[in-house]
Amino acid sequence: MEFRSCFDIIGPVMVGPSSSHTAGVVSIGTFIYEWLRGSPERADIIFYHSFAETYQGHGTEKALLGGLLGMDMADLQVKQAIEIAEQEGVHYTLQFEESCPYYDHPNTVVVRARRKKHVVTAGGVSLGGGLSKIFMLNGEMVDIYLRTSDDISKVAAQYCRDEERAMEGGV
């Protein structure tokens, strides 16, 4: 993995105490938001490893919900993401597991989200400095890196188009 700037390591401007437990997690949620073309009606979230142990202190659940609501990592409303999700009718569950069967990293989350007829299951890891990676999409292993400088809507749209073409038999 090649870093483009020192800010890929030091960390972005963000809400929350930890670039790996908040900023990177917002990006994972934002990727899902963009994939679904809006906030999910339902999200089943499984936090693994250190996310499961420290999510409350770091606000990891707020960060993920903030991303699922379309917020970016510097949006002050991330702090109120739980309340906003409730107001907007986003139903979610949280589960906590020691180890992830799909990927070995301490900052791992798997989300199954639904919006209307669209459903996505995405696995993500937060690598630090606001950098995150989607490692699984709908059961397929992938390598989608999300940097703070990326336009996540374009990244998600590209992978969504690729999957739609594959389902149509065009890839």
Please list, in sequence order, all residues whose beta carbon lies within 8 angstroms of the beta carbon of residue 65, skipping any fewer than 6 positions away: 29, 43, 81, 82, 84, 85, 90, 92
Whole-prediction pTM: 0.82
Q: Report the percent of the chain where pLDDT is more than 70.
A: 74
pLDDT 10s digits, 45-84: 999 987 777 766 557 899 999 999 999 877 779 889 999 9
**CATH number for the domain running over 15-167:** 3.30.1330.90
Tokens of 7: 């800010």
pLDDT 10s digits, 99-135: 999 998 888 999 999 999 899 999 999 887 778 999 9
